[in-house]
Amino acid sequence: MLNERQSVILSYITEHVEARNSDLLPLIGSCSPMTLWRDLDKLEKEGSIVRVRGGAMLSQRPKIAGLESAFSERIHQNTVAKERIAKIAAALFRSNHAYYLDAGSTVAALTRRLKAGNYTILTSAANIAAELALSTRFNVTLLGGQVSPNTLSCSGPQAESMLDGMNIDVAVMATSGYSVNSGFTVGSLQEAQLKQKIIQKAAFSVMLLDAGKIGKNHPFTFASLADIGVLICDQAPSADVLKAAVAAKTQIFTPEDQLSPEQRESVYQCLLQRENP
């Protein structure tokens, strides 16, 4: 049976799916980090959580009959916005490049638009790897690790260690939220750590962001605009985001930017050369 302190910790992790130790310590008042360690140990032994580096995560989400997974629900939402973003992003792909494709429903929309070419694809998304592997046009590598039911992505120490021997020309990233103050954020600590490492490894990074995610903050920040070379949106973002992009020297592409696909390609290539002289 859990005491009140342990119940509070479990409730927080259940709500947020994952939490840092620094998030949990304020919840247990004046108790020491060792007390938190013992509480997490008890919750893990009971099967409620899994301890990860620097925190803990829910061992598995409750399954309710008749409800789709979070990813299955999300892939059917904002489909028009995702297709507008995917159309712009797909036109920038070129053969003989090594790409990282992040997890997420917007990136999944992009994969369905990729034209014929000799691509080397690295991804953490099990669904994206499975879809691309059916085509002989792609050389696909899937990162290992723990699979998230929310994003169908692999993350954790195994995924991060696999990156050590890999080179990425362009990382195509996704995010759960963005705000000028917090940057690009997600709800999982492990996913945030993996995304950070991918952006650091990549020679160039592109972020896909639909307008519905702007202004939303999630617990873990993994990047700022300064880390991103190109931001692709389904519509022109607000004035504060545009101002922040100018300050960060981040190029924004939208369907309303008055640029032809050829002009976007020219701008994109110039940015690539600037980052890789």
User: How many Cα atoms sit within 13 Å of 14 on the Cβ side?
Assistant: 10
Q: Minimal CA–CA distance to 103: which of 124, 76, 80?
A: 124
Q: Which runs of consecutive H residues, i.e. helices, occur in the chain?
A: 4-16, 21-24, 33-45, 70-74, 79-90, 105-111, 126-133, 157-163, 189-201, 239-248, 261-275
Q: 119: closest CA among 142, 91, 100, 143?
A: 100
Which residues does 32 contact at the CB level (< 8 Å), separation at least 6?
Answer: none
Nearest to 13 by CA among 53, 59, 46: 59
What's the DSSP call for residue 212?
Answer: G
State the number of CA atoms in the 13 A half-sphere of 11 facing the CB: 9
Looking up tokens 């399954």, which residue turns up?
63
Query: pLDDT tens track of the chain, all 277 residues?
Result: 678 788 788 878 876 778 889 889 888 887 888 999 999 988 888 888 888 888 888 775 444 333 334 555 555 556 788 889 999 999 999 888 899 999 988 998 898 888 877 889 999 998 889 888 877 678 899 998 878 777 778 888 888 899 888 999 999 999 999 999 999 999 888 889 999 999 999 999 999 999 889 998 888 999 999 999 999 999 999 999 999 999 999 999 999 998 999 999 999 999 988 876 5
The hierarchical CATH code for the domain 72-275 is 3.40.50.1360
Domains in the chain: boundaries: 4-58, 72-275
The pTM of this model reads 0.72
Cα–Cα distances in Å, from 28 out to 6, 11, 111? 9, 12, 45
- In CATH, the number for domain 4-58 is 1.10.10
Choose among 88, 86, 113, 92: nearest CA to 253: 88
134 phi-psi bin (left φ>0, alpha ψ -120 to 50, beta other): alpha
